[in-house]
């Protein structure tokens, strides 16, 4: 799953410093405030600050900036892609389920029109 929509980026448009916390928030679908508060708590605890600060700056240097076209996505699209990133197998299962439902409904429509239209029924049989 190396789609541009399933990649972690720095979110410079919503950034406070380097955009790492905003990028993580965008990637996970969590409010950026909670990510920033968690980062701040980790830094202020003193125990994690020797690990968290270098990781933050390393991520800020290594992560790519979020492409401009991804900022223009509708909220529904963003929510969908966050779900894909969180659990791709569940998303694929949901899509298969929806397609099976569409197939079933299409078969019902076909059955209705074929059974009520003998000329159409004859034409379909002739094509088989």
Domains of the chain, residue spans:
1-86, 88-128
pLDDT tens by residue, the chain, 128 residues: 456 666 788 887 777 888 898 888 888 878 889 989 998 888 888 877 788 888 888 988 888 888 777 666 777 777 777 766 767 677 778 788 889 989 888 888 887 766 777 777 788 788 88
User: What's this model's pTM, rounded to 2 decimal places?
Assistant: 0.57
67: three-class secondary structure by DSSP: coil
Q: Which residues, 6+ apart, have CB-to-CB distance to 10 below 8 Å?
A: 18, 19, 20, 22, 23, 59, 60, 63, 64, 65, 66
For residue 15, CA distances in Å to 11, 36, 62, 114 come to 6, 11, 16, 59
């Amino acid at each position: 799953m190396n789609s541009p929509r399933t990649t972690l980026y720095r979110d410079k448009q919503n950034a406070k410093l380097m955009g790492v916390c905003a990028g993580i928030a965008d990637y996970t679908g969590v409010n950026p405030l909670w990510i920033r508060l968690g980062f701040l708590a980790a830094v202020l605890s003193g125990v994690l600050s020797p690990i968290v600060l270098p990781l933050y700056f390393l991520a800020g240097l290594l992560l790519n900036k979020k492409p401009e076209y991804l900022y223009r996505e509708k909220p529904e699209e963003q929510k969908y892609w966050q779900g894909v990133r969180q659990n791709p197998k569940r998303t694929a299962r949901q899509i298969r389920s929806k397609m099976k439902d569409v197939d079933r409904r299409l078969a019902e429509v076909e059955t209705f029109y074929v059974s009520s239209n003998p000329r159409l029924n004859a034409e379909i049989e002739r094509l088989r």
